[in-house]
Chains A and B, each alone.
Chain A
Amino acid sequence: MTRRGRMVLFGFGAVGLAALMAWGLAGLPSFGDFDGAYGTLLSKIAVPERQASSVVAAVTFDYRGLDTLGEEFILFAAAVGVLVLLRIQRGEEDIPAEPQHSRLPTGRSLTLRSVATALVGPVVLLGLYIVSHGHLTPGGGFQGGLVLAAGLLLAYLSGAHLRLGRARPVSAMELSEAAGAAGFALIGLGGLVFAGVFLENFLPTGTFRSLISGGTIPLANVAVGAEVMGATLLILAELLDQHLLTHGRHRR
């Protein structure tokens, strides 16, 4: 089909879809008038029951914990999928697993490298803060895990991407990802053992608005933070390696 024909077809389809959407969206409650019984109830009972000030975290890691467990395994499966896709390809083309040359990712700019080095510490600290305070303030394992991954990516940017030999922390990332995923599942099993229900909160809930509160919610945040950090870094490392491989081939 020609591009023009495709655009015309899309035009008809889009008009039809827009009409259907307008019809469907007009049936929703007016913006701001939502009255979901489930959400209203959770806003009221989450604090007395769990002492966690962030109701969103309580819903994510406790009341709807099973949903989040699935979500975490989606991320796990995606990271494995990326690794499998890109590593098989390496085997097909007989490219050595380790790039043959070193390369400075930020070029020779001393300013960029110094700024990246200076930012590593603060960004990692911010990530740890966001993970550990997920049950108190906005944030949590998913967000903090990404910030941690960004901090470690800065460490990569600040240095030379050397022959990725043993120094490369791929196995540490894999461990972090797997331990995080398993940790959440184990917290769920802990609920089954100690409270009789999978993913039920089985720890004392602590004091409202203090770091020790929310029962298993902070633990789940730490597990998810480790998993998200590991998965993100693995995916990024694999994509960066692809760049280095192609880069190396063009130079040969």
Chain B
Amino acid sequence: MTFLPYAVSAWLFLVGLFGVVRSRNLIHLVVCLSVVQASTYVLLLAVGYRHGGAAPIFADVPLGSRTVDPVVATLTLTDVVVEATVVALLLALAVQAHKRFGTLDPDQLGAMRG
């Protein structure tokens, strides 16, 4: 019974969230959010792992050998693409916030509105 990879995933999630809450810069906040999202990659790949399993790519692995789950690998790929798009959109919003308010500090954004 080993749960270490799951614990790593939970830790990444919490430490990323901590960074988001503490952040004083929108760019830093986006990077922290990507740490939160990284926890889901660890979780997905950990769930699909099988002891002694090779990658499910039979380029040099003999057919019929024990492999890890290919479905979670595909889900992780989707996850990575979604993260990239979220980061791109948030960075564009950060650029806009900086133009509008002249600051990247999330605490200052509301105060500058007047």
Contacts and interface: CB of A to CB of B under 8 A. Distances in A.
A32 interface: yes
B2 A31 contact: yes
B57 to A, nearest CB: 5
Nearest to B93: A85
A55 B17 CA distance: 34
Interface residues of A, number: 60
A137 B56 CA distance: 10
Nearest to B6: A25
Contacts of A118: none
Given A34-B69, A60-B77, A75-B84, A55 B56 contact: yes
Interface string B42-63: 0000111111000111110001
A31 B49 contact: yes
Contacts of A238: 92
A93 B57 contact: no
Main secondary structure of the interface of B (DSSP, over half): helix
Interface of B: 1-7, 9-10, 13-14, 17-18, 21-22, 46-51, 55-59, 63-64, 67, 69-74, 77-78, 80-82, 84-86, 88-89, 91-93, 95-96, 99, 107
Interface in A71-96: 71, 74-75, 77-79, 81-82, 85-86, 89, 93
Contacts of B10: 18, 21-22, 25
Interface in A25-49: 25-26, 28-36, 38-40, 42-44, 46-47
A10 B69 contact: no
In the A-B complex, the 10 residue pairs with the closest CB atoms = A39-B69, A78-B85, A32-B51, A55-B56, A25-B6, A55-B70, A82-B92, A21-B10, A53-B58, A39-B71
Contact of B49 (A32, A38, A71): A32
22 contacts: A10-B17, A21-B13, A30-B2, A30-B3, A31-B3, A32-B51, A33-B50, A39-B72, A47-B63, A55-B56, A55-B58, A56-B56, A56-B57, A56-B73, A59-B73, A60-B77, A68-B74, A78-B84, A142-B77, A238-B92, A239-B91, A246-B99
